[in-house]
Each structure stands twice: as C-alpha cells, then as structure tokens.
C-alpha cells in the first residue's frame, strides 16, 4: 500500500516513512498542504496521514479533498479531545499507527467492493 504523509516537520516525515517501510508500505512525503494535494492528484494512495499543523491548506480542507477523491485520511493531532476512527493523537506508537491506517484502508476497500 502507498501512504501519503503530509506534515511540516521533516524529521517526523522521515520517521513515519521509515516506520511505514518496516511494515512494507511505501510512503510519499509532503511538507505542506499544496504539495500534498498535488501529489494526491497524481498518485493513487491507500491512505493519507495529515498533521493538524500542515501549512498552506487547512488540515480539515485537505482531509475533505482527499476523502472526496477516495483517499481515506487520518488526522494526526495533539488535541486530547479529538475523536473518531480517522484520528491519531500524538504521541502514538507504531502499533497504533499501523492499526489506524489498516482500519481506514480496509474501510476504503469495503466501499470499493460493495
């Protein structure tokens, strides 16, 4: 599976890309919302991780654009009150990351096969 990671912190992008590679997933990184949106139009992703502080495009708008194009998106946030199947709160473990990506990607496959 190919995953798009949209986050302004290059160290975070590198860390997440490395974790996804350990799982056998391919990652593309974007350090701002405009770059992430452009990449999502050119490549078919199984899921997208979006940091709440992504610059140039609000994270909520970017997630909406992804979901409208069929890419399940996961919000990465520090907000302790954030809830939902497509939310992961910092700090998270690799197991939590793999679980939420797997869950949203499985939902996409279910929708496509119905």
Segment 3-17, tens digit of pLDDT: 999 999 999 999 999
Write down the residue that tokens 């495009």 correspond to. Answer: 57
Query: What mean pLDDT do residues 76-87 have?
Result: 89
Tokens standing for residue 109: 């496959």
57 pLDDT more than 70: yes
Task: Supply the DSSP symbol for 76.
Answer: E
25 pLDDT more than 90: yes
Domain count, the chain: 1
The domain spanning residue 44 has which CATH number? 3.40.50.2300
Q: Which domain holds residue 97?
A: 2-113
Query: What mean pLDDT do residues 42-51 have?
Result: 96
Q: How far apart are CA 5 and CA 103, in angstroms?
A: 17
């Amino acid at each position: 599976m190919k995953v798009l990671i949209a986050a302004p912190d290059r160290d975070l992008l590198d860390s997440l890309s490395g974790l996804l590679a350990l799982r056998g997933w391919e990652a593309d990184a974007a350090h701002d919302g405009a770059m992430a949106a452009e990449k999502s139009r050119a490549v078919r992703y199984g899921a997208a991780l979006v940091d709440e502080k992504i610059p140039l495009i609000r994270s909520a708008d970017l997630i909406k654009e992804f979901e409208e194009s069929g890419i399940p998106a996961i919000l990465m946030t520090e907000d302790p009150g954030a809830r939902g199947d497509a939310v992961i709160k910092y700090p998270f473990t690799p197991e939590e990351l793999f679980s939420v990506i797997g869950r949203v990607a499985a939902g996409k496959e279910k929708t496509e096969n119905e």
